[in-house]
Chains A and B, each alone.
Chain A
Amino acid sequence: ELKVEQNPLFLSMQEGKNYTIYCNYSTTSDRLYWYRQDPGKSLESLFVLLSNGAVKQEGRLMASLDTKARLSTLHITAAVHDLSATYFCAVVTGANSKLTFGKGITLSVRP
């Protein structure tokens, strides 16, 4: 059974500092997605990573994928309050292209 683990589950960040969060998965996959969810809202797609070594950047967020290590990282540069949200990674596996989510990491940016 595929396991997708995110850590830490909660991260309090100081404004202006850099942080990295992690997503590990337990089976072979070369397709990984990052989503953002604001409280009480739906999920918004952030990044799609399709191959080993893929790197995507949008604003202060940069995501990368290492399929050999089964690891994706989301790097936050100079955290700002607007980045406070819950971030999910999700991995596609299987013939039916099932999408399995991690439990999410809640980021909170403090002044």
Chain B
Amino acid sequence: EAQVTQNPRYLITVTGKKLTVTCSQNMNHEYMSWYRQDPGLGLRQIYYSMNVEVTDKGDVPEGYKVSRKEKRNFPLILESPSPNQTSLYFCASSLALGRGGYGYTFGSGTRLTVV
């Protein structure tokens, strides 16, 4: 089944403890992105990647890192999480965003709580 898989679905952690949220897609998509969703703020892009080894900042990149060593994987790394990073995170992928009408396929989301 074509999908974007995020893990974990839920995570409670403490301030400062490094964590990684994994994202994997099985559709051979070039374009991958991370968004966070907060009440009243909608979805805001954290980082995106247009292909392997090509990543760039979105609108709210502070406190996050990403890597794209393989086409299928795009992990989100929080080196030193803080409570303001408590949010619902979505990974998304696209074959060719904006071209030919290709949109994003979203993962199921990761609800992160930092205490």
Interface on A for B, CB 8 Å cutoff? 31, 33, 35, 41-45, 48, 50, 88, 90, 92, 96-104
Q: Which residues of B contact A33 (CB under 8 A)?
A: 103-104
Are B31's CB and A97's CB within 8 A?
A: yes
Are B90's CB and A43's CB within 8 A?
A: yes
Contacts A43-B106, A96-B48, A97-B97 known; list 18 others, CB within 8 Å.
A41-B109, A42-B90, A42-B108, A43-B43, A45-B103, A45-B104, A88-B43, A92-B97, A92-B98, A97-B98, A97-B99, A98-B45, A98-B48, A99-B103, A101-B43, A102-B42, A103-B40, A103-B42
Q: Which residues of B contact A101 (CB under 8 A)?
A: 35, 42-44
A1: nearest residue on chain B (CB-CB)? B59
For the complex, give the distance between the alpha carbons of A54 and B78 in Å: 41
For the complex, give the distance between the alpha carbons of A79 and B99 in Å: 33
List 30 A-B pairs, Cβ < 8 Å: A31-B98, A31-B101, A33-B103, A42-B90, A43-B43, A43-B90, A43-B106, A44-B106, A45-B103, A45-B104, A48-B101, A48-B103, A50-B101, A90-B43, A92-B98, A96-B48, A96-B50, A96-B56, A97-B97, A97-B98, A97-B99, A98-B48, A99-B45, A99-B103, A101-B35, A101-B43, A102-B42, A103-B40, A103-B42, A104-B42
The 9 closest A-B pairs by CB, nearest first: A97-B98, A103-B42, A92-B98, A101-B43, A97-B97, A48-B101, A43-B106, A42-B106, A33-B103
CB distance from B56 to the nearest CB of A (A): 7
Q: Which residues of A contact B90 (CB under 8 A)?
A: 42-43
For the complex, give the distance between the alpha carbons of A88 and B44 in Å: 12
